[in-house]
């Protein structure tokens, strides 16, 4: 019986050493990741641009917004044309006899 207890204590000793080694390596790995993250952040940090560059970026952004708005108007016209064609087809007439005055989205209730 005493031999079984001796083997059990030796096993516990090995178990605790293994647990300590695993958790210490995990802590070391976490520290390495945190340090590397801070180093990479410091290396990739961009210097601030002068104020003149900001004005140029604003001008470019305004031009891009104007292009998007113009594109959206064209998409709306295409949508009106498609809706008119569908209504004309369902009524059995041509689209030149229909006039679309406004479009609004109608909320549908789910069944």
**To the nearest 10°, the Cα dihedral for 88, 91, 92, 97?**
-50
pTM of the complete model: 0.37
Question: From CA 108, how far away is CA 86, in angstroms rounded?
Answer: 19
Percent of the chain having pLDDT more than 90? 23
Enter the DSSP assignment of 106. -
Mean of the per-residue pLDDT values of the chain: 78
**Model confidence over 16-43: pLDDT tens digits?**
999 999 999 999 999 999 999 999 988 8
């Amino acid at each position: 019986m005493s031999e079984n207890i001796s083997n059990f204590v030796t096993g516990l000793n090995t178990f605790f050493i293994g647990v300590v080694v695993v958790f210490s390596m995990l802590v070391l790995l976490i520290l390495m990741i945190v340090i590397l993250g801070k180093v990479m952040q410091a290396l990739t940090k961009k210097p601030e641009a002068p104020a003149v560059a900001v004005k140029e970026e604003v001008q470019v952004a305004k031009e891009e917004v104007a292009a998007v708005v113009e594109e959206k108007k064209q998409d709306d016209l295409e949508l009106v044309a498609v809706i008119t064609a569908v209504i004309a087809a369902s009524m059995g007439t041509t689209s030149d006899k229909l006039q679309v005055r406004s479009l609004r989205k109608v909320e549908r209730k789910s069944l």
